[in-house]
Structure 1
Amino acid sequence: MADSSDLAKAILETQQINYCSLSSIAFLIWDVCITFGDEVNYIWRQSNRSPTKWLFLFTRYVSVVGQMIFFLRSLGFFWTPPMPRSICHPWFIFQSLWTGLLVSAVELIFGIRVYALYQSSRWIRNLLLFVFASNFLVVIITYAAMLPKFQYNDDCFPLTNVNSLEALRIWTVTPVSVQTVLMLLTLIKAIPSMRKSIHKTPLILVVARDGAWAYILISIFFLYDGIFYNFLSLLPRTLILSWFMTVISFSSCRLILNIAKLRDRESITDRDHEHFPEFTSDLQVGQELYEMESTANRDPPLAYPVTPTGARRDIKEISASPHSRLEESV
């Protein structure tokens, strides 16, 4: 009887894991479908030299491929539990590198946004290089020192011992610290700019808003896994792994798409109001980012602009129209 109940419990747990993996894939594919039109309009047409174009495509489609591989593995397509111990170590390395690359891509997106906010400042570039290099060194050293000491259960999850818990803490604290630094740099620049501006600056608002919710969402997954991993069963561990890649893809794509769409609307506004341009200084840090301080610290014009036909236009109509339309869309 005990064997029958254990077998039924294992079958039920495997079924729940498969449902969990399938739900995360379904959400990810649904997100790809509803934003595919925007992807074609705002991402594909960008220059091949734009780093954010390739970061977008990488985080979106590498996440889909990774989710498919992990789902097939949970179905027993490659092997069925108990898994051979010789397979567990290379599988865990592959799984860790896959998720690590996605996390690095999101951090680069955050970094590009910060670099744009600070108008390609040399000191911010050096600071970002130092932060990313330190993050890379810590992760690589931890992998090299800790991975050979890992032991695995029948599902190829690391057993909770001193080595695995210490590595997990490092892998939790390091990315959260990097993203916290990037988020603080964003807020330090964005908040004073919004206060100084006579009109609200939609681009800065979008950068601060999207950066905040993406930072909170990703950090919750990191912290939950890092703090409670020792107490989690197989199902919540699988839940975190599968949905984490979905959250990474969803967040990073929204970070880029929202700015790209705002930039496109602003370009149309500039063509309609060429004598009162907004956000027209391109930082050359990806096609979708503009100099975000260009209007925040700009004094209102003192004279009435003249249209190409020679007629004077009311300054209130010109200055208010672009902002009102952008704020309604945001």
Structure 2
Amino acid sequence: LLLSRSFSAAGHTLLVYDYLLTFRDEFVYIWDAPWTIVKALFLFNRYGNLIGQTVIRLEEAGLLAHSSQKFCQGFAVFTTCFMFLSTESIHILVLVRAWAIWGTRKRVTNILAWSYVGYVVTMLASSAYSVRAGDGESLHSVFILFVKMVALL
């Protein structure tokens, strides 16, 4: 357990160090650029992941630890939603890039959009299934939290 926490702390330290190394370039090239969906997704991915990873590391270190089952279930829901949103922000960036490279024709747009919708439905179903509790409360919480997070975007 100590070894796992040590590697986790070292990895997070490198993540923060990387952010600090690239912040100047980010400020020059990203923050001064006009707001687009790509810029918003990039910043959401960059800082949302840093915040989410920090919360997870704090819990792993025992600083957010709580012995209640409700906390553990809530944290499992948070972790599942965080992993889903961080992964999907990257996928959407790749889809936008593919859409731009392959042309913005309606047929290409439809193929990319419907393929992505099918993928998201499959991922949501499998995530909800893996988080479910015996009483079904956790499953309900996943969908409520996900809807709230999407509504904020």
- Shorter-chain TM band: 0.7 to 0.9
Within a 5 Å distance, the mapping from 1:158-237 to structure 2 comes to none
Q: Distance in 2 between matches of 1:18 and 1:25?
A: 10
Distance 1:71 1:117, change over 3 A: same
TM-score normalised to structure 2 length: 0.78
Q: CA deviation at 1:125?
A: 0.7
Within a 5 Å distance, the mapping from 1:48-59 to structure 2 comes to 48=35, 50-59=36-45
Q: CA deviation at 1:132?
A: 1.3
TM-score normalised to structure 1 length: 0.38
Structure 1, gaps ≥5 residues long? 1-12, 151-330
Q: Which moved more, 1:24-33 or 1:71-80?
A: 71-80
Equivalenced residue count is 134
**Of 79, 101, 125, which aligns to 1:117?**
101
Tell me, yes or no, if the aligned pair for 1:25 and 1:68 is still in contact at 8 Å: yes
Distance 1:64 1:122, change over 3 A: same
Q: CA deviation at 1:145?
A: 4.2
Tell me, yes or no, if the aligned pair for 1:55 and 1:109 is still in contact at 8 Å: yes
Within a 5 Å distance, the mapping from 1:228-267 to structure 2 comes to none
Tell me, yes or no, if the aligned pair for 2:30 and 2:39 is still in contact at 8 Å: yes
Q: Distance in 1 between matches of 2:115 and 2:128?
A: 20
Q: Distance in 1 between matches of 2:133 and 2:12?
A: 32
> What percent identity do the matched residue pairs reach?
22
Superposed CA deviations along residues 200-227 of structure 1, whole A, max 9, x for unmatched, are xxxxxxxxxxxxxxxxxxxxxxxxxxxx
Q: CA deviation at 1:141?
A: 2.6
Tell me, yes or no, if the aligned pair for 2:80 and 2:127 is still in contact at 8 Å: no
Q: In structure 2, what is the equivalent of residue 73 of structure 1? A: 59
Cα RMSD between the aligned structures?
A: 1.8
Q: In structure 1, what is the equivalent of residue 142 of structure 2? A: none
Structure 2, gaps ≥5 residues long? 135-153
Superposed CA deviations along residues 50-78 of structure 1, whole A, max 9, x for unmatched, are 11111111111111111211121122112
Q: In structure 1, what is the equivalent of residue 131 of structure 2? A: 147
Deviant stretches of 4+, over 6 Å:
none
Q: Distance in 2 between matches of 1:24 and 1:124?
A: 39
Q: In structure 2, what is the equivalent of residue 85 of structure 1? A: 69
Q: Distance in 2 between matches of 1:17 and 1:125?
A: 44
Choose 1 or 2 for highest CA Rg. Answer: 1
Q: CA deviation at 1:146?
A: 4.5
Superposed CA deviations along residues 295-322 of structure 1, whole A, max 9, x for unmatched, are xxxxxxxxxxxxxxxxxxxxxxxxxxxx
Is 1:24 the equivalent of 2:24?
no
Is 1:61 the equivalent of 2:55?
no
Tell me, yes or no, if the aligned pair for 1:17 and 1:74 is still in contact at 8 Å: no
